[in-house]
């Protein structure tokens, strides 16, 4: 199972100038000139410079929903899965991403009542992710696009987070996204043999006595000390290797077995990862015992998601 199963998505869809100081242009600065004429000239020049300065841009608010946000229009194309889409701006490329390609996009997402819940556009920064680490609607939809294209998607709940998401704060039901594809690259070919299964640690059944337990119930133990001193933040993008097991010792996912590290922002994963990775430093390897309420729950809504307490070995390579 891929990171889509592990990280509840990643949506991967997923986060945010200071004005120049006026002191340099005040009359008092000009009044320090040795003569009155020079003072008048300096004041006039200062006023001209101040007038020419652009005003600081306020933080952008929510982007208005498109008029067809409530339902796909008649000219939208609907696939066999129920995904609907409409090309807004034709692209310039000729190739399409694959199911595991890493894409770079701008996007904005709304619920069908017109409320914006996320946008890389308002943050002013594109986002990149592999297509096998996001909701099913994105995995399918982005493969229909070419570079330079902007498309609107109407993604039904069963291809997104469901009609009654278990993860607090996840948007429910049909979601509407405007997505612009800037570039993509194929997933790198593995250069190391694929490991089909990694044995569970001896303490997979329960956290040992020397593990640390946080107020949320997350338990962790440092396996290998790190070399860094700084910690990731709650929205930091991290690069890791990980393996996950259920408490009966069954491995359900592993980047180690796939032979490829994974990168993702910490506000786009299960709560136990968001909390736990912030405790780590670069070079560190830690084991986490994540209770169900910080993972996918004891009775996950999404078919195939692992239930109950999950155990992860995580190695942090870098973050930004």
CA-CA distance, 82 to 125, in Å (whole number)?
A: 30
CA-CA distance, 215 to 206, in Å (whole number)?
A: 17
Active-site residue (options: 107, 153, 220, 319): 107
Active-site residue (options: 177, 242, 264, 312): 177
Residue pair 243/251 in contact by the 8 Å Cβ criterion = yes
Place of tokens 């991403």: 97
Rg for the chain (alpha carbons), in Å? 25
Active-site residue (options: 68, 117, 203, 252): 117
**Strand, coil or helix: 4:** helix
Closest CA to 200 of 243, 164, 157: 243
Residue pair 299/237 in contact by the 8 Å Cβ criterion = no
Confirm whether 117 is a catalytic residue.
yes
Active-site residue (options: 85, 129, 153, 161): 161
Closest CA to 130 of 305, 252, 255, 295: 255
Place of tokens 């694959």: 98
Q: Count Cα atoms within 13 angstroms, Cβ side, for 284.
A: 22
Active-site residue (options: 12, 25, 85, 118): 118
CA-CA distance, 113 to 118, in Å (whole number)?
A: 14
CA-CA distance, 32 to 24, in Å (whole number)?
A: 12
Active-site residue (options: 135, 155, 262, 270): 135
Confirm whether 107 is a catalytic residue.
yes
The CB density around residue 186, as the number of other CB atoms within 10 Å, is 11
**Strand, coil or helix: 123:** helix
Residues annotated as catalytic (active site), given as ranges:
107, 117-118, 135, 161, 177
């Amino acid at each position: 199972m891929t990171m889509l199963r592990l990280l509840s998505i990643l949506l991967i869809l997923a986060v945010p100038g200071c004005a120049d100081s006026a002191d340099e242009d005040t009359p008092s600065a000009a009044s320090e000139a040795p003569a009155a004429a020079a003072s008048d000239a300096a004041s006039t020049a200062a006023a001209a410079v101040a007038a020419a300065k652009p005003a600081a841009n306020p933080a952008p608010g929510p982007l208005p929903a498109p008029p067809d946000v409530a339902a796909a229009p008649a000219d939208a194309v609907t696939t066999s899965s129920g995904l609907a889409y409409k090309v807004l701006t034709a692209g310039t490329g000729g190739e399409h991403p694959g199911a595991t390609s890493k894409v770079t996009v701008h996007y904005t997402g709304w619920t069908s009542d017109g409320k914006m819940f996320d946008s890389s556009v308002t943050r002013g920064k594109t986002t990149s992710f592999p297509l096998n680490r996001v909701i099913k609607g994105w995995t399918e939809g982005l493969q229909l696009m070419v570079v330079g294209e902007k498309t609107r998607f109407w993604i039904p709940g069963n291809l997104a987070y469901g009609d009654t998401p278990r993860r607090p704060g996840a948007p429910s039901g049909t979601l509407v996204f405007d997505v612009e594809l800037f570039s993509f690259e194929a997933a790198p070919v593995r250069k190391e043999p694929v490991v089909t299964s990694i044995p569970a640690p001896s303490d997979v059944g329960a956290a040992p006595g020397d593990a640390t337990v946080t107020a949320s119930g997350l338990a962790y133990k440092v396996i290998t000390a790190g070399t860094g001193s700084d910690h990731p933040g709650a929205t930091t993008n991290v690069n890791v290797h990980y393996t996950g097991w259920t408490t009966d010792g069954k491995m359900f996912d592993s980047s180690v077995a796939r032979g490829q590290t994974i990168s993702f922002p910490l506000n786009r994963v299960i709560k136990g990862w968001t909390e736990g990775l912030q405790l780590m430093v670069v070079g560190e390897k830690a084991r986490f015992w994540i209770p169900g309420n910080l993972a996918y729950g004891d009775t996950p809504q999404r078919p195939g998601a692992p239930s109950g307490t999950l155990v992860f070995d995580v190695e942090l390579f870098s973050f930004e």
